[in-house]
Amino acid sequence: MGKELRSLVERKLKEDLNNYGVQKEQLKFDWSESCIEGHDSEYLDGSVENFSGIAVFDEEDNIVADGWMEFIHEPNFFLAYWDSVTTWDRDKLLQKKTFGLPEHIWIQIPEGIRSRYKVGQC
């Protein structure tokens, strides 16, 4: 991913973490253990793929989330979100979300392309 694309993906994933109990502003993404898991697409300044093994830390280096990202890229529409994520508050498990398209993402997809997607499926 290019710098602009990575910044967009991280911003979208950070916004999505609000849906899973993470309300922190200063977050650091660690892509060092991530793996490519399937489809890819060209967007902005690079190529995006769905990755597993993404970790997110707060300003004190406490893990706040880890999981897999997914994305939707259609003409005039791009959205990255957590496909599977576990969130933490220090050592306390906040939430564990398994794979599938969540309702809060579904409602962000333009109606003209929703027929290509189903809630609960990628």
Q: Is the pTM value of this prediction over 0.85?
A: yes
112 class by beta-carbon count within 10 Å (0-12 exposed, 13-18 middle, 19+ buried): exposed
For residue range 107-122, what is the model confidence (pLDDT) as tens digits?
A: 999 999 988 887 765 4
80 class by beta-carbon count within 10 Å (0-12 exposed, 13-18 middle, 19+ buried): buried
Provide the pLDDT for residue 121. Answer: 53
